[in-house]
Structure 1
Amino acid sequence: MSATSSTTLNHDVEERVPMPGPKERPADGDFQVILDPEEHPQNLSLVRKWIAVLVISSASLCVTCSSSVASFTEQGVADEFRIPHLVAVLSLSLFVEGLGLGPLLVGPLSEVYGRNIVYRVSYSLFFLCSFPVAFAPNASVYLIFRFASGFCGAAFLSVAGGSVSDLFSDSTVANPMAVYTISPFIGPVLGPLLSGFINQNLYWRWTFRIQTIWVFFQLIALYLLVPETYVPVLLRWKARRLRRSTGYAKDVAPLDMEDRHLLHAIAVSCYKPFQLMMFDRMALLLNLWTALILGILYLTFQAFPVIFRDGHGFSMQTTGMTFLGIGIGMLLAIFTQPFWNRLFNREAAKNGGQAPPETRLIMGQLGGILVPVGLFWLAFTTYPHVHWIAPIIASVPFGAGIYFVFTSTFTYLVTAYRPIAASAMAANSALRSLFAAVFPLFAGAMYARLGTVGATALLAGLTTLMAPLPFIFHRIGPRLRAKSRFAVTS
C-alpha cells in the first residue's frame, strides 16, 4: 500500500486564488484553482465513501486470492502439461513476483493520471490476462500469463491505500484503513479454501474460470462505484473545465505547474526503494521481518497439504478448509482495532496531537510474540496421532500475529518515512513478494527432509529471532530516525 497525504481545505479562499511569486509558481496573472467543499472526496457521504472502500478492498482480496487459488491446481497442471510438480508451483511464485514488481510502475502513474484510470486499466488487463491462464494451451503460456496477471493486479497493493486516505481524514481513517489492510492477507487464506472445493469436484481449469467471473464483477463495480479521489488530479480536471467554460487560459492546477517527466518518476520509483533498504538499516530489518512472515504464509500452501492430507488423510476440499484457522485469527485481530485507536489517540494527546511513529510498533510487539507462539504450537501438534483440530487452533494466533505485524509495520513506515512513503512501501512490497515467491519452491523439500515438526519449528525459530525488532525500534527509533537520511525526525 502506498500512502498519500490528504489536502487541507481552505474555506475562506475564493475559487481562483492569485498566485504571483517565484518561477515554480504560475506567472503573474495566473490563478490556482481550489476545490469547493462539496467537491473534496473527504466530503462525500459516509455511505458512498464506505462503498468505495469496500469495493477497493474486495478487489484487493480478489487479486491476492488469485495468487493462492492455484495451490490445489498444481497436480492437474503438472499432469496435463507433463511438467514436474515444482514447475507447476511456479504458477504461485510468478504471480506473487508480479505483485511485487507492479507497484514500481503503477505508483508513479497514479500520481500523474489519478487513481481511477490506474484501477480501471490495470484491472481490465488483469481480467484479460485471466483468459490465457484459464485456457492455456501449454505450460509456457500458463506461467507467462500468471506473472502478467500478478503484475496487472498489483495496483491494489500499492495505490489503493492512497485512495482510502484520500477519502477519510487523519482522525477517521483508522477503521477503513484496517478493513483495507486485512483484505490482501485474507485473500491468500481464502484462495486454498475455494481451490480445494473446486478442484475436488471440477476440472482444474474451472478454478481460473470461476476466478475470471469474480474479476469481471469486480471490474464492473470499480467502474460504477469508485470515484476519483486524488486531489491534485481533481484540481487539474477542474482547471480544464474552467478553461473550457470561461475561455480564461490562466486557470491552473498544481499539476499544471510541475515539470513532471513520467519516465524519470518511474526510474526514481525503481531505484529509490532499493536505495532506502541499502542505506537505512531500520527499514531493511522491518522489511525482512514482514518478508519472512509473508514467505511463511505462502509456504503453508505447500505445508498444510503435507500436514493434513498426508498426515491426517484429509480430502482436497477439507485440506483447503484448514486455512480457516489463519483467517479466523486475522478477523479476531481486526476486531481489536478500536482498542488500538484509543491507545494511539492517548499517545497523540501526550505529544501535542501527533503520536511518534514508534507508537505504531506497540501493535507489532504483540504480533511479534503471537507469530512464533502460533508456529511453535503448530509444529508440535503436527504428529498424526495428535487430533487435527490442535494444529488448526494453533494457526489462529499465527493469523492474528500476521495482522498485527503488518498493520504496525505499514503504518510505521508511512509515518516514519513520510516524504518518501510510497518508496518505503514499494521497498517493503518488493522484498515481501520475493520471499513469498521463493518460499513455496523449497517447502516440499524442506518438509520431506526435516519432517513436519522440524520444518515448522525451524520457521518458528526464525520468527523468534526477528520478534525483538518492534521492541528495539520502539525504544531507540527516535535516535535512529535522527541519523537517517530518509526518515522524519519528529
Structure 2
Amino acid sequence: MSTSTRKSASFDQPHDATITDADMPASQNAEASEDPHLVVLEPEDDPQNMSLFRRWLAVLVISSAALCVTCASSIAAFTEQGAAQTFHVSREVTVLGISLFVTGLGTGPLLVGPLSEVYGTHQILHAMAYLQQSRTGRNTVYRISYALFFIFTFPVAFAPNVGVFLTFRLITGFCGSAFLSVAGGSVSDMFPNSTIANPMAVYTMSPFIGPVVGPMISGFINQNLYWEWTYRVQLCWISAEFLMLVMFVPETYVPVILNKKARRLRESTGDPNFFAPLDRREGSIASAILISCYTPFQLVLFDRMALLLDSWNALVLGILYLAFQAFPIIFEGVHGFNMQMTGLTFIGIGLGMLSAICTQPFWNRLFAREAAKYNGDPPPETRLIMGQVGAILVPMGLFWLAFTTYSQVHWIAPVIASIPFGSGIYFVFTSTFTYLVTAYRPIAASAMASNSALRSAFAAAFPLFAGAMYDRLGTVGATALLAGLATIMAPLPFIFYRIGARLRKNSRFAAH
C-alpha cells in the first residue's frame, strides 16, 4: 500500500486549517511507515487531485451558501416597518431582528470554530474531534447546519408574534454560523498552497458581499409585497443551496476520508486490523469543549495584538451594519428615495468589494516576491500590507460619504463615496484573517472565533443606536464620527507590520 501523503496545508483561510501528516507527532509519522495496517492518503483519495472543474464548482457552491447565510442578517433591514405594524411594537424592537441574528453568527464560532479541527499537538483538541469520533466530517456539518437553518427560518417567516420572530432570528443565526465556521477548511482541503489564493479570495469575499446583497433584495420585496415575503423568498434560496451542497460538495477532510477508507478495507478484506489515524486519537469530548470555549477568550484578554486587530475588524463591521440604518436616513430622508431605490444604493459598497477582489492577482505577485525574500517562508506581517491599503480607504470613504450627504449634493456622490469604503472592507478583513491564521497557527480556529465574536458584538450593537445618533448629530456629524473612529484605528496595520515579529516572540499564543 502506498504511503504517499499530503505534506502541507494552507493556513490562508478565514476559519480553520487542515490537519496533515506534517502536523502529526513524529511517533505517528514513524508508525505510518512501519505499520502496514495504517491507512494513508493515496493519489486517488486526495481531494486536491479532483478535476479543477469539480473543485471550483464546490468552492462556488460553498461561497454562495456562505453569502446566503450572511445575506440573511441584513435582509431584515427593510422589514422593520412592516414587522412593527404587524406585531404592534416600536421600530426599535424590530431592529433586533438584525442584531440577534448577528449575535447568533458571532457566538456559534466560539464553540464550532475551535472545535472544527484537531491540530497535530496533543494539547489542543477542537470540536471536530467529536465529529471525527462519529466518523462524519465537514459535509455532515454543512448539511445539518443548513437543514436547521432552513427549518428554523419557517417560524421567522410565519411568526405569530414578535417573541417568536426574534427568538428564531437568533437561532437561525447560530445555525448558519456552524456552516461559516467550517466552510473555509474545504477550500484549503482542495487546493495546494501554490493555488489557494484565488479560491480562498472568492470564499473570503462571499460572507461580506452577503450583507450588501440583503438590502437590495429586501428593498424590492418590501416595496411591492408584504414584509413576510422577504423570509419566504429566503426559504426558497436556502432550500436551493442545501440541494447544491448535497449534490456538488464532496467530503474533503482528509482524516475523515482515511477513516471511511479504513472502514471499507475492514469490511472488504475481513481484516479488523486496518485503522486510520483518527482511530488512535485520544482525548475526551468534555476536555475538547472546555478548551475550545475558553481559548478564544484567553487570546483576547492576554494578547494585545489580537485584541487590537479584532477591535479594528469589529469597528469596520459595526459601521457596515450601521449603514443598514443610516442609508435609509440618508437616501429616504434627505433625497426622498423609496425602499427599492434605497436598497440599490448599497451597490456602491458591493462594487467596492468586487473591484478589490479583482486586485487579487497583484497581491499574489507581491506576496510571491515577499516569500522569495525569505526562502518561501515569509513572516505573517507581510499579510498586513494589504491591510494598510484598507486602513486608508475605509476612513477616506467614510469622510467622503459624510460630506456628500447634504440635500443640495447629488445622490450619486455618497453612492460613489461608498465604493472605497467597500474596497477597504475587503482589504481589512482579508489581511487580518490571513494574518491571524498564520501568526496564531497553533490555535488558528480559536483566533478566528475570538475575531468573529468581537466583530459580531459590534455588528449587533451598532444598528441599535444608529437612529438616535443620526437624529442627534445629523447625517454629516454621525458619519464623520464613524470616519474619525476608523482613522484612529488606521495606524494598526502599519505598527504591527513593523513590530509584529517582536510582539509574537513575547506572546504565549503566537507562532514564533
Q: TM-score range by the shorter chain?
A: over 0.9
Aligned residue in 1 for 2:147: 124
2:44 and 2:31 mapped to 1: Cα distance? Answer: 26
Sequence identity, in percent? 68
Deviation at 1:251, TM superposition (A): 1.4
CA contact (8 A) 1:30 1:252 kept: no
Kindly provide the amino acid, as one letter, of the partner of residue 264 in structure 2.
R
| From 378, 384, 387, the counterpart of 1:355 | 378
Aligned residue in 1 for 2:486: 463
- CA shift digits 1:289-323 (9 cap, x unpaired): 00000000000000000000001000110000000
SS of residue matched to 1:32: coil
Aligned pair 1:37/2:60, yes or no?
no
Aligned pair 1:74/2:80, yes or no?
yes
Aligned residue in 1 for 2:289: 266
Which residues of 2 match residues 254-333 of structure 1 at below 5 A?
Answer: 254-333=277-356
Q: Which moved more, 1:101-110 or 1:372-381?
A: 101-110
2:57 and 2:313 mapped to 1: Cα distance? Answer: 29
2:384 and 2:161 mapped to 1: Cα distance? Answer: 47
CA contact (8 A) 2:145 2:179 kept: no
Aligned pair 1:189/2:212, yes or no?
yes
- CA shift digits 1:329-359 (9 cap, x unpaired): 0000000000000000001011011121000
Aligned pair 1:61/2:67, yes or no?
yes
Aligned residue in 2 for 1:2: 15
| From 383, 393, 399, the counterpart of 1:376 | 399
Deviation at 1:31, TM superposition (A): 2.7
Deviation at 1:6, TM superposition (A): 5.9
| From 150, 157, 179, the counterpart of 1:156 | 179
Kindly provide the amino acid, as one letter, of the partner of residue 380 in structure 2.
P
1:21 and 1:135 mapped to 2: Cα distance? Answer: 56
1:29 and 1:188 mapped to 2: Cα distance? Answer: 51
- Inter-CA distance 50–8: structure 2 relative to 1 (3 Å threshold): farther
Deviation at 1:373, TM superposition (A): 0.2
SS of residue matched to 1:477: helix
Aligned pair 1:345/2:351, yes or no?
no
CA contact (8 A) 1:104 1:266 kept: no
SS of residue matched to 1:206: helix
Deviation at 1:263, TM superposition (A): 2.9
- CA shift digits 1:404-445 (9 cap, x unpaired): 000000000000001100000001000000000000000000
- Inter-CA distance 34–466: structure 2 relative to 1 (3 Å threshold): same
Deviation at 1:451, TM superposition (A): 0.5
**TM-score, normalising length from structure 2?**
0.91
SS of residue matched to 2:393: helix
Flag structure 1 segments of 5+ consecutive residues without an equivalent: 10-18
Deviation at 1:453, TM superposition (A): 0.5
| From 438, 442, 449, the counterpart of 1:426 | 449
- Inter-CA distance 42–79: structure 2 relative to 1 (3 Å threshold): same
Deviation at 1:84, TM superposition (A): 1.2
Deviation at 1:189, TM superposition (A): 0.2
Which residues of 2 match residues 468-479 of structure 1 at below 5 A?
Answer: 468-479=491-502
- CA shift digits 1:80-132 (9 cap, x unpaired): 10111111000000000000111233332445331100000000000001100
Flag structure 2 segments of 5+ consecutive residues without an equivalent: 1-13, 116-126
Aligned pair 1:200/2:257, yes or no?
no
CA contact (8 A) 2:388 2:494 kept: yes
CA contact (8 A) 2:18 2:253 kept: no
Aligned residue in 1 for 2:248: 225
1:29 and 1:124 mapped to 2: Cα distance? Answer: 40
SS of residue matched to 2:195: coil
Kindly provide the amino acid, as one letter, of the partner of residue 161 in structure 1.
G
Q: Between Structure 1 and Structure 2, how many residues are aligned?
A: 479
CA contact (8 A) 1:327 1:399 kept: yes
2:292 and 2:405 mapped to 1: Cα distance? Answer: 43
2:304 and 2:295 mapped to 1: Cα distance? Answer: 15
- CA shift digits 1:140-196 (9 cap, x unpaired): 110011011000011232211111111100111000000001100100000000000
Deviation at 1:20, TM superposition (A): 11
CA contact (8 A) 2:356 2:426 kept: yes
1:323 and 1:263 mapped to 2: Cα distance? Answer: 45
CA contact (8 A) 1:106 1:118 kept: no
2:143 and 2:128 mapped to 1: Cα distance? Answer: 11
SS of residue matched to 1:293: helix
Kindly provide the amino acid, as one letter, of the partner of residue 7 in structure 1.
T
CA contact (8 A) 2:110 2:450 kept: no
Kindly provide the amino acid, as one letter, of the partner of residue 222 in structure 2.
N
1:53 and 1:203 mapped to 2: Cα distance? Answer: 34
SS of residue matched to 2:38: strand
Aligned pair 1:389/2:412, yes or no?
yes
Kindly provide the amino acid, as one letter, of the partner of residue 42 in structure 1.
Q
1:233 and 1:476 mapped to 2: Cα distance? Answer: 40
CA contact (8 A) 1:20 1:30 kept: no
Kindly provide the amino acid, as one letter, of the partner of residue 245 in structure 2.
L
CA contact (8 A) 2:311 2:454 kept: yes
1:222 and 1:456 mapped to 2: Cα distance? Answer: 40
Deviation at 1:245, TM superposition (A): 1.4
Aligned residue in 1 for 2:55: 49
- Inter-CA distance 29–345: structure 2 relative to 1 (3 Å threshold): closer
Aligned pair 1:137/2:143, yes or no?
no
CA contact (8 A) 1:64 1:188 kept: yes
2:200 and 2:37 mapped to 1: Cα distance? Answer: 35
Deviation at 1:30, TM superposition (A): 7.0
Aligned pair 1:103/2:126, yes or no?
no
CA contact (8 A) 2:146 2:179 kept: no
CA contact (8 A) 2:87 2:162 kept: yes
Kindly provide the amino acid, as one letter, of the partner of residue 73 in structure 1.
T
1:8 and 1:172 mapped to 2: Cα distance? Answer: 20
Q: Which moved more, 1:154-163 or 1:415-424?
A: 154-163
- CA shift digits 1:54-76 (9 cap, x unpaired): 00000000000000000000000
Kindly provide the amino acid, as one letter, of the partner of residue 102 in structure 2.
V
1:36 and 1:21 mapped to 2: Cα distance? Answer: 21
2:498 and 2:352 mapped to 1: Cα distance? Answer: 28
Which residues of 2 match residues 446-457 of structure 1 at below 5 A?
Answer: 446-457=469-480
